[in-house]
Structure 1
Amino acid sequence: MPRLVMAETENWSCKCLAIVRIVSQKCGVPDFKKEFIEETTFNSESVAKGFPDFMSFAELMDPEKGFYDQSGDKVTLAIDVTVKETKTGDK
């Protein structure tokens, strides 16, 4: 299994693009998708805590919206990340 060397290094950075989807659990309802098309840089000093404006919790849990699977008590996420550049070592 490949190792994530960056996780073992104090000084690292990673530029990436991402597509985050909440997978619809209801037939005929499309997935909810946000594309982060501008390169985002994450690094060893980053304190990123998510995306506060992605979707409200009330909307996510609304059975009519079709994203929450009540029978399985779950939400399914699909995340595609494209890494554009990584750096390790000195800042």
Structure 2
Amino acid sequence: MSEENPKTPLDHVADTLSQLKEMRHYSKNNVELLTTQWLMFDGELSKLKQAGKIENLMMRQSEFHDALETVIAELEEVKTELQPPPDAPPG
């Protein structure tokens, strides 16, 4: 956008939401892949005393994913509040 038409707070919230939703998508895919790998090799990882490290990462990733969901929901509410009423002129 040019300086004549700077981004509004609504634009910034929408951009941030878009980025967070992309992060959520990749986060979910990564957790699913890691879980699959962990389940396939849990026995071997346990023998090597490495299973706890993976479990810790999976828990931390889950906590991140939960926090991400919370922030997305909160920003969705902010976005709704920032949207002009339907009969309001743009700008």
Measured against the shorter chain, the TM-score band is under 0.3
Higher strand share: 1
What TM-score do the two structures reach when normalised by structure 1?
Answer: 0.26
